[in-house]
Amino acid sequence: MKVATHEPSADQLSQIVIHGMQEKKAKDIVLVDLRETDSAVADFFIICTGTSDTQVDAIADSVEKEVKDALKEYPLHVEGKTSKEWILIDYADVVVHIFKQEKREFYGLEQLWGDAKITELEDFS
Protein backbone atom coordinates (compact mmCIF):
# COMPACT_ATOMS: atom_id res chain seq x y z
CA MET A 1 0.00 0.00 0.00
CA LYS A 2 1.40 3.39 -1.00
CA VAL A 3 1.36 6.06 1.69
CA ALA A 4 0.30 9.51 0.53
CA THR A 5 2.85 12.23 1.07
CA HIS A 6 2.18 15.90 1.39
CA GLU A 7 5.27 17.01 -0.44
CA PRO A 8 4.55 19.81 -2.88
CA SER A 9 4.92 19.08 -6.55
CA ALA A 10 7.64 20.82 -8.52
CA ASP A 11 4.87 22.57 -10.49
CA GLN A 12 3.26 23.91 -7.31
CA LEU A 13 6.60 25.01 -5.88
CA SER A 14 7.47 26.74 -9.17
CA GLN A 15 4.27 28.79 -9.13
CA ILE A 16 4.94 29.96 -5.58
CA VAL A 17 8.54 30.88 -6.46
CA ILE A 18 7.32 32.88 -9.47
CA HIS A 19 4.80 34.69 -7.28
CA GLY A 20 7.59 35.60 -4.84
CA MET A 21 9.61 37.03 -7.73
CA GLN A 22 6.67 39.01 -9.07
CA GLU A 23 5.97 40.44 -5.61
CA LYS A 24 9.34 42.23 -5.78
CA LYS A 25 9.01 43.24 -9.44
CA ALA A 26 11.64 40.86 -10.80
CA LYS A 27 12.38 41.32 -14.50
CA ASP A 28 12.56 38.78 -17.33
CA ILE A 29 11.21 35.80 -15.36
CA VAL A 30 11.78 32.54 -17.22
CA LEU A 31 10.64 29.03 -16.31
CA VAL A 32 12.94 26.38 -17.76
CA ASP A 33 11.26 22.96 -17.77
CA LEU A 34 14.03 20.36 -17.58
CA ARG A 35 11.84 17.30 -17.00
CA GLU A 36 12.34 15.97 -20.54
CA THR A 37 16.04 16.87 -20.61
CA ASP A 38 18.67 14.18 -20.19
CA SER A 39 21.02 14.62 -17.23
CA ALA A 40 19.11 17.59 -15.79
CA VAL A 41 19.87 18.34 -12.16
CA ALA A 42 16.32 19.53 -11.36
CA ASP A 43 12.81 19.55 -12.80
CA PHE A 44 12.78 23.33 -13.19
CA PHE A 45 15.13 26.28 -13.22
CA ILE A 46 13.43 29.60 -12.58
CA ILE A 47 15.51 32.58 -13.62
CA CYS A 48 14.93 36.28 -13.12
CA THR A 49 16.76 39.58 -13.04
CA GLY A 50 16.99 42.27 -10.37
CA THR A 51 18.17 45.77 -11.20
CA SER A 52 20.22 46.38 -8.05
CA ASP A 53 21.88 44.57 -5.15
CA THR A 54 18.96 45.60 -2.97
CA GLN A 55 16.36 44.23 -5.38
CA VAL A 56 18.24 40.96 -5.95
CA ASP A 57 18.36 40.45 -2.18
CA ALA A 58 14.67 41.42 -1.77
CA ILE A 59 13.60 38.96 -4.50
CA ALA A 60 15.53 36.14 -2.80
CA ASP A 61 13.97 36.98 0.57
CA SER A 62 10.50 37.14 -1.00
CA VAL A 63 10.90 33.74 -2.68
CA GLU A 64 12.06 32.10 0.55
CA LYS A 65 9.22 33.71 2.54
CA GLU A 66 6.50 32.78 0.03
CA VAL A 67 7.66 29.14 -0.10
CA LYS A 68 8.00 28.91 3.69
CA ASP A 69 4.58 30.47 4.29
CA ALA A 70 2.76 28.43 1.62
CA LEU A 71 4.48 25.07 1.89
CA LYS A 72 6.54 25.08 5.09
CA GLU A 73 9.56 24.27 2.90
CA TYR A 74 13.09 25.59 3.31
CA PRO A 75 15.82 25.58 0.68
CA LEU A 76 18.44 22.85 0.78
CA HIS A 77 21.09 25.40 -0.06
CA VAL A 78 21.46 29.12 -0.77
CA GLU A 79 24.48 30.73 -2.44
CA GLY A 80 25.41 34.28 -3.39
CA LYS A 81 23.70 36.24 -0.60
CA THR A 82 26.88 38.19 0.14
CA SER A 83 27.79 39.22 -3.41
CA LYS A 84 24.19 39.80 -4.59
CA GLU A 85 25.26 39.31 -8.23
CA TRP A 86 23.72 35.84 -8.60
CA ILE A 87 21.71 34.25 -5.80
CA LEU A 88 20.93 30.56 -6.17
CA ILE A 89 18.20 28.99 -4.02
CA ASP A 90 18.08 25.19 -4.26
CA TYR A 91 14.82 23.40 -3.47
CA ALA A 92 16.06 20.14 -5.08
CA ASP A 93 13.44 19.77 -7.85
CA VAL A 94 13.30 23.54 -8.36
CA VAL A 95 16.41 25.69 -8.55
CA VAL A 96 15.98 29.45 -8.40
CA HIS A 97 18.48 31.83 -10.05
CA ILE A 98 18.26 35.55 -9.30
CA PHE A 99 20.74 37.59 -11.31
CA LYS A 100 21.86 41.13 -11.81
CA GLN A 101 21.59 41.87 -15.55
CA GLU A 102 25.29 41.70 -16.46
CA LYS A 103 25.80 38.35 -14.70
CA ARG A 104 22.70 36.86 -16.34
CA GLU A 105 23.93 37.88 -19.78
CA PHE A 106 27.42 36.53 -19.04
CA TYR A 107 26.29 33.07 -17.89
CA GLY A 108 23.36 32.65 -20.30
CA LEU A 109 21.72 29.77 -18.42
CA GLU A 110 18.71 29.71 -20.73
CA GLN A 111 20.99 28.94 -23.70
CA LEU A 112 22.66 26.00 -21.92
CA TRP A 113 19.47 23.96 -22.04
CA GLY A 114 18.56 24.12 -25.73
CA ASP A 115 16.24 21.12 -25.57
CA ALA A 116 14.29 22.39 -22.54
CA LYS A 117 10.87 23.99 -22.75
CA ILE A 118 11.31 27.68 -21.86
CA THR A 119 8.37 29.83 -20.77
CA GLU A 120 8.77 33.58 -20.45
CA LEU A 121 6.49 34.99 -17.78
CA GLU A 122 4.88 38.35 -17.44
CA ASP A 123 6.59 41.05 -15.40
CA PHE A 124 4.29 42.90 -13.01
CA SER A 125 6.04 46.23 -12.91
pLDDT tens, the chain, 125 aa long: 444 445 679 999 999 999 999 999 999 999 999 998 877 889 999 999 999 999 999 999 999 999 999 999 999 999 999 999 999 999 999 999 999 999 999 998 888 877 788 898 876 65
Q: What is the CATH number of domain 10-106?
A: 3.30.460.10
Tell me the three state secondary structure of residue 14: helix
Cβ atoms of 34 and 115 closer than 8 Å:
no
Q: pLDDT at position 4, please?
A: 43
CA distances from 113 to 11, 82, 104 (A): 19, 27, 14
How many residues are there in the chain?
125
> pLDDT at position 3, please?
41
Give the per-residue pLDDT at 6: 53
